[in-house]
Structure 1
Amino acid sequence: MMNLSDSSTPARDGHPDILSAKAWIGKLGGSPVRPQSFAASPVLAIGHFRFDGLAEEVECPKLPFHYISVALGGPLVIEACLGGEKVKGRVLPGQSLIMAAERSNVWRWDRPTEEAHVFLHAEFLDRIADEAGNGRADISDRLAFTDTPLRHTILALTEEMQRPGSISPLFFDMAADVIARRILFRHCQKDGKAGANTAGANTAGALTARQLRRVLSLVEDRLSEDISLDDLAGAAGLSRFHFVRAFKTAVGTPPHRWLVGLRIKRAKELLLSRTTTIIEVASLVGFESQSHFGQVFLSHVGMPPREWRRRALS
């Protein structure tokens, strides 16, 4: 599994769009809260930073991302000028704000704060909107609102970022889809009203048995490699938007959980061979490190791989 933390993978974190998100955080004086403060995929970046009070206005560059944050400090009063429109609000801990991509943005706030935030690529949200039959996504700038599912998703991402190893590409893909659907459903404009968009209401049926066989065949062939949501959707012959719903209807669990389950099942089979080392097992089932594999195995099985093997072979 590819490591996407800020301490490595310069090929992906070095993409100009990703660098623009890091530069934007730096312009506002963000400092890391944890050892792993930033991680990114091509369509989604996540961060966890602390900011001092901003008494003087600071103008930041436009972003190719839609910016969504969750306040973990405060309360604080934020004043901003987004796309030439002045906004002001009192933000409580747990509340969020959204700024659409390509907005001119000037900021000021009255006290230190801590923020968890995501940067969702605008082209990706447009793609999901198009697949949902909604055309171009017209996102709404919003300040000081509460969206519990969105908050939980963002905070889960910041926690996942702290685990040993890496965030898998499929986990990133799924998180990007969940956030995109939530944004489309609750925070986009349609007929002049925010949240009136019907994205996510698609009633696609379950995958057919033939589609499931194709997906399983792809996974079995590439279990030791990174597997993306686009790979799985392509095997089923569906867009990723329709695949996620159809897969969960057929299997009863999201694709990333299903894939982890398959990796653990295969790992158990490999652990029954005394000649295969733990680190070899980890690599064969798609984990980049033994420590990451051990943590995931422990969380699913209830004991470390070495202990499971000892008991299984005794």
Structure 2
Amino acid sequence: MTTRELNLELSDGHRIPQLGFGTYKIDNDAAPEIVRRALEIGYRHLDTASFYDNESGVGEGLRRAQLNRDEVFITTKVWQDSHGFDATLRAFDESITALGVEELDLYLIHWPDPTQNKFVETWEALRRLRDEGRIRSIGVANFKEHHLQRLLDETGELPTINQVELHPEFAQPELRAFHREHGICTEAWSPLNRGRNLDHPAITEVAKRQGCTPAQAVLAWHLAIGNVVIPKSADPDRQRENFDAAGIVLTSEDIATIDTCNTGVRTGKDPDTFA
């Protein structure tokens, strides 16, 4: 199967590889070889976070792959325990030190955590780091429309990207419409819903029509509707299977079929209450 090189342009003019490699729950000791192998397969976008406690392992995997720094797009995130302007600046320094890089491609606020009421202040720190040339692009994760609107109202600037729970069973059409209206790129975490519904008749029907696996059909759906997607697997065969989803081009009928899976039920935490 031939894969396509897929990149999306963010609102700031920088480009992001649409199919990335997620590292959630990959142990720091195991990360170097898992990441090196993913880069060897062809991934050029790595997603980590301070909360994952594997930034140093991800950075070591990048070095083992012996690629030029500008060949790989790296994302990490600031956790709730570092919300606030000065705390975020310190957290950023700790993250890039762990990763072993001087500049970050994308830095995200991991959750809004409205109970602290510091996400706007945290956003201002990201803007400072971007303006100083230490981050190319800035964004958020797990923000709802009203969180995004508050950033715009209080700072005059929206994030380039919002990384949220998104999969066929929780497709978030209203949030995606808000993103489109405001030039925000949509990024999906848990894009396969941790494999819970890959036997859904709509998904297996599309997989059969396309001659691919159900997981590949779902990832191809994400790519077709314009999401950045970051599947995670420590298994090399699964890594390759997920990467090869870039070679699948769904029809409008295929997309509509998978769209019928949406129940609107969230599997993960609610951003309004998670603290």
Do the two structures share a fold, i.e. TM-score over 0.5? no
Larger fraction in strand: 1
Larger RCO (CA under 8 A, 6+ residues apart): 2
